[in-house]
Structure 1
Amino acid sequence: MITGSNAPKVLIVGAGPTGLTLGINLLRGGVPCRVIDKLPGRLPWSRALGLHARSQEIFDAMGVLEAVRGQARAFEAIHVYGDKGRDKGPLLSLPMDELPSPFPRLLCCPQPRIEAVLEERFRSLGGELWWDTELLDFQQDGSGVQARVLQRDGQGRHGEERQLQADLLVGTDGAHSRVRELLGLPFVGNDYHERFLLADVDWAPDLENDAFHGFLLADGNLIAIPMPDDGWRLVVTEEPGEETEETEEAEPDMALFHERIREALGDQAPLPGEPRWLSRFTIQRRLVSHYRRNRILLAGDACHVQSPLGAQGMNTGIADAFNLAWKLVLFCRGHGGGALLDSYQRERRPVAEDMLRGVDALSRASFVRAKVLRGARDSLLRLAGNRPQLGRRLVRRASQLDVHYRHSPLVDAGPDADLGWRHQGPLPGDRVPDARLQSQRDGSPRRVQALLRQPVHHLLLQLGGEPDHRARVILHALLSRLPDEYLNELRVTVISRDGFELDRSDTGAGRAHLWRDHDGEFEQAFGTGSRLWLMRPDGHLGYRAPLTDADYLFAYLERLFHH
């Protein structure tokens, strides 16, 4: 049994994007961890491609976004066509460059490439990744988790049983999760009747190569996605009623792809040749009953599976891990207790429920065959296409920038939650908006979102004007106490409209960073006045209040960080 100082505090089962995101953020917080995966190595093929704005913000905080972008293709738009194909023009075109994020465009990056970047970052931080290691079973008690694993030689042979000890275990091992199975948790949902064919091909169509193309044809759908290396990914739905025992066993071919391409682009459209990869798959909609059983937790596809339409699955798993990581870091340092871990399900399961409803509605609308229903659907799409505000709302929802935890027990608005300034700025639980700022020390550019590169809580002290005597006393009290009492958990940033000088005792030894809201972007996003904004390590707002309610902030921090 591996115990002692070299034993990881957290054992992660599953080396996909969710597990590696969790591992990286645990290591960033100083918590040693190990990732195991039953596969002998990374699979070369994957259905997951899309990386939305919120996931890019998370990857930027983790220091991996630039490497991922180097392996990806950025999409400028999403085009959806009706049953007449391209000839009648798109029913709906959604531009991807208008999101309120520093990374608005959808990235197309195959999952194996994302995993390779994440694995390199994980190992560079000192993380251990054991391939070809299968979880057999586990036991847990008040002191930790004991896991029994079978570790093979990398070729799937010569297994050796080992006992691993950890404080916590997290199952990020996918839709067929062994961790979820051992916990005996219900995975409730349903299977869709539709089946899909997927092909990665070399192809040169007359289509924009920086956009996603979806064709809702009379006989079935065609999705065409340009890949980073000049190839295309094609997905078609097989028509209902085609499935027999013979067709289920038959190897898929390109005939149906060629038929749909002609229907979508015309008889003269070029056709792809032999595929690089060809696969048939079905989809499900399922959600686990509980995200936690004592010291064992679940994340990603182990919690929720859904249709690939909308590219929500991988992105939701990444956000699960980002939400969970900082809570595990605090728990391993002795803060928060079980209530902190309970907040993970309280925050993330409603997000998965909402995501599953939205993806289910999108999938069922795209599958309809009856002519009258197709007509109604297409009319709604045209309506959305003619109303830019509605289109922007759809893109923002898909990007997961609107995800919030307003009903979480971990967030608070202080005693003045219902006063008139409630409508100004983000509410507790919302994602903290980005804004460009300027360093007061050297004039260099800064961004609010960039604070997430330090995996701690960040207190933003907004000064709406020249502070009076009372405000100066409050500032001095905050800057005197907070850096000492919460040295490892909190950083303080003072943001003023026209620049503001603090006493040397308040700025010495890095006690606070001074930023200037030079172009007014911060006021535009957060409102006016002198405020306290506490941003959590996952970029969501934990607490907000007027500057004069600083005493309540100390009470909130005491509850959050109590031992």
Structure 2
Amino acid sequence: MNSFDTDVLIVGAGPTGLTLANELARHDISFKIIDSAITTSQTTKALGIMPRTLELYEKTGIAEEMVEKGLDTPAFNVMNKDHKLIYFDFNKQCNSPFPFVLMLPQNKTEEILYNYLMKQNYDVEWETKLLEIEQDANGTTVIVQKGIEKTANIRTKYIVGCDGAHSTVRHQLGLNFEGVTIQQNFSLVDLKVEWKLPYNESYAFVDRGKFIAFFPMKDGKHRILMTSDIGAKEHSEVSIEEIEQMIHAVGPTNTSVSSVLWTSRFLVNQRMVKQARLGRVFLAGDAAHIHSPVGAQGMNTGIQDAYNLSWKLALVLKNYSPDTLLDTYTTEREPVWGNLLSGTERFTRILLQKSRLVNQVRKTIAPVITSSRFINQKFIDALSQTGIHYRHSPIVNGEEYGSKVFNKGNWLQPGDRVPDEIIGNGQRLHHLLTTTKHVLFVFTQDYETFKKIKENVESYPIQVFQIGIERDCAIQQNYLCDSKGQIYSKYGFASKEGMLVIRPDGYIGFKCVELNINLLKKHLQIIFN
């Protein structure tokens, strides 16, 4: 059976599924997206959007709308009563066009993503439930239920399960969701807070196993995350009295709360799959990994799963690349999930320590450790997700291809995220990366050399630019002027010559500090047929 209804079936229309759908639409790949719900989420759920996520959304032009509808919070404070333990200043230390955590409720995020999808002439098939998956050598057949009784078959080449922590796709594949449940009850509350602290900063207060964090929203309300003695199974609303007792126990002082809008109780699960691909079926977002909400990493990680997988699916479906390229989705993303789970679990357990001695040590040591700019930077890189890299990936290449001049030092490496830079007349580097293609930057002043390299890669789906330091060459097509040598310096091109290949998800795929066409083509042959 080689007749297909669509190339890709996306199961789940939350932030991960909608992001994947929008990216496949940009790549001109046919797909269907289904969800058992009647429409997008109507509750706030996940709140924080990280700088790296906004950088990726800037490719589609929706980051601006998100920033307009959200509240940017440039600082995060960890407190013990009124004593400051840790201060993270994103505005000063996050190297991104978006140096803040954007507070935008998930229902607003989904609304923006859904509207953008419809502008691309696609829609979600709502009230459609996945029942069964059957794979064969050429594709998959899915049985879905539409409405109450009607069932239908969908024939597709690939399936991506973005259907949440209780994923039907994962259960159909029989994959284990390995991990632990932290035996501590937590509560989420949206409400009004009155205090004298800055409104546009986030605060977490911790003391002897009790924890409460405040995240501001644009509508004048706050999201509260706190520990609780009341279990999730009791299904009771979080009361004002319960919140006031927690504030009295851990801080802040001179604070009042009112007007509760939404509450939720839960236990923290730390779980992930070890295999995100089985045949022609993939898992992404909460279907593949769930963890503590501390750090607001979950939704952002799922969105970046979608960006990693979408360009690979597009290349394979357009016959530019072999199916084995899709194996690198798990190779690249699984270490990210593993580090995230271990990090959030470790930090959550530290917060929940009830020992008086541990709390005193934490109160004394934490300000000293995080006052180190190096350590503070590491935390911000992790929280903002700008520090995520794929240096371990088999499809990124650099000095192992024989470039003896290549020296790691502090320079950007193959597999690293490409930071934004200003080029020549004020043009931003990230604006050159909005294409769905790979981008090749050739660092040379010699136009004939550039032309020869460009001719050698014309058969590949790649945009090619020349970067030089002389302004009088700026009239040449595809020439970018780095007159101050900032980009040359950042990438370690001391010889003033080199090449960079940037992937569609904004990571360095190849770096070479010489203009060696054979090395470049050797890398491209790993990605492309």
Aligned mates of 1:20, 1:475 — CA distance in 2: 39
- Structure 1 unaligned spans of 5+: 153-157
Is residue 403–residue 513 contact of structure 2 (8 Å, CA) maintained in 1?
A: no
SS of alignment partner, residue 130 of structure 1: coil
Aligned mates of 1:371, 1:491 — CA distance in 2: 59
Render the CA deviation track for 1:25-59: whole Å, top value 9, x for unaligned: 11111101111111112222143111111111111
Which residues in structure 2 correspond to 1:261-280 (within 5 Å)?
A: 261-265=247-251, 269-280=254-265
Corresponding residue of 2:327: 342
TM-score (structure 1 length as normaliser)? 0.89
Render the CA deviation track for 1:58-111: whole Å, top value 9, x for unaligned: 1111221011111110012101101xx12x3x1111111121111111111111
Aligned mates of 1:500, 1:556 — CA distance in 2: 32
Render the CA deviation track for 1:372-424: whole Å, top value 9, x for unaligned: 11122223321134223321221111111111111211111152355453336
Which residues in structure 2 correspond to 1:433-472 (within 5 Å)?
A: 433-438=419-424, 443=425, 445-463=426-444, 466-467=445-446
Render the CA deviation track for 1:499-539: whole Å, top value 9, x for unaligned: 3649x9xx6xxxx5111113433123212320100000011
Aligned mates of 1:102, 1:93 — CA distance in 2: 21
The answer as to 2:78 corresponding to 1:80 is: yes
Aligned mates of 2:79, 2:323 — CA distance in 1: 50
SS of alignment partner, residue 213 of structure 2: strand
Aligned mates of 1:421, 1:270 — CA distance in 2: 54
Aligned mates of 2:455, 2:126 — CA distance in 1: 48
Aligned mates of 1:331, 1:352 — CA distance in 2: 24
Structure 2 residue corresponding to 1:25, chosen from 10, 23, 26: 23
Corresponding residue of 1:416: 402
Is residue 209–residue 351 contact of structure 2 (8 Å, CA) maintained in 1?
A: no
Aligned mates of 1:174, 1:266 — CA distance in 2: 35
Q: CA deviation at 1:546?
A: 2.7
Give the counterpart letter for 1:550 in structure 2.
I
Aligned mates of 1:520, 1:396 — CA distance in 2: 25
Corresponding residue of 1:155: none
C-alpha spacing 1:455/1:260, structure 2 compared with 1 (3 Å): same
Aligned mates of 1:555, 1:289 — CA distance in 2: 30
Give the counterpart letter for 1:122 in structure 2.
L
The answer as to 2:244 corresponding to 1:258 is: yes
Structure 2 residue corresponding to 1:491, chosen from 463, 466, 475: 463
Which residues in structure 2 correspond to 1:300-319 (within 5 Å)?
A: 300-319=285-304
SS of alignment partner, residue 167 of structure 1: strand
Corresponding residue of 1:206: 196
Corresponding residue of 2:157: 167
Corresponding residue of 2:490: 525
Q: CA deviation at 1:338?
A: 2.6
Is residue 41–residue 106 contact of structure 2 (8 Å, CA) maintained in 1?
A: no
SS of alignment partner, residue 159 of structure 2: strand
Aligned mates of 1:366, 1:530 — CA distance in 2: 49
Aligned mates of 2:504, 2:146 — CA distance in 1: 34
C-alpha spacing 1:250/1:319, structure 2 compared with 1 (3 Å): closer
SS of alignment partner, residue 273 of structure 1: strand
Is residue 14–residue 41 contact of structure 2 (8 Å, CA) maintained in 1?
A: no
Aligned mates of 1:288, 1:400 — CA distance in 2: 21
Structure 2 residue corresponding to 1:406, chosen from 391, 398, 403: 391
Q: CA deviation at 1:2?
A: 13
Aligned mates of 2:203, 2:2 — CA distance in 1: 51
C-alpha spacing 1:389/1:139, structure 2 compared with 1 (3 Å): same
Which residues in structure 2 correspond to 1:79-228 (within 5 Å)?
A: 79-82=77-80, 85-86=81-82, 88=83, 90-97=84-91, 98-152=93-147, 158-218=148-208, 220-228=210-218
Aligned mates of 2:79, 2:455 — CA distance in 1: 60
Give the counterpart letter for 1:189 in structure 2.
G
Is residue 145–residue 295 contact of structure 1 (8 Å, CA) maintained in 2?
A: yes
Is residue 171–residue 297 contact of structure 1 (8 Å, CA) maintained in 2?
A: yes
Corresponding residue of 1:379: 364
Greater Cα offset, 175-184 or 34-43:
34-43
Greater Cα offset, 328-337 or 296-305:
328-337
Q: CA deviation at 1:279?
A: 1.7
Greater Cα offset, 515-524 or 138-147:
515-524
Q: CA deviation at 1:128?
A: 2.7
Q: CA deviation at 1:126?
A: 2.2
C-alpha spacing 1:281/1:424, structure 2 compared with 1 (3 Å): closer
C-alpha spacing 1:167/1:420, structure 2 compared with 1 (3 Å): closer
TM-score (structure 2 length as normaliser)? 0.94
Is residue 13–residue 172 contact of structure 1 (8 Å, CA) maintained in 2?
A: yes
C-alpha spacing 1:39/1:105, structure 2 compared with 1 (3 Å): same
- Structure 2 unaligned spans of 5+: none
C-alpha spacing 1:373/1:318, structure 2 compared with 1 (3 Å): same
Structure 1 residue corresponding to 2:67, chosen from 60, 63, 69: 69
Q: CA deviation at 1:474?
A: 3.3
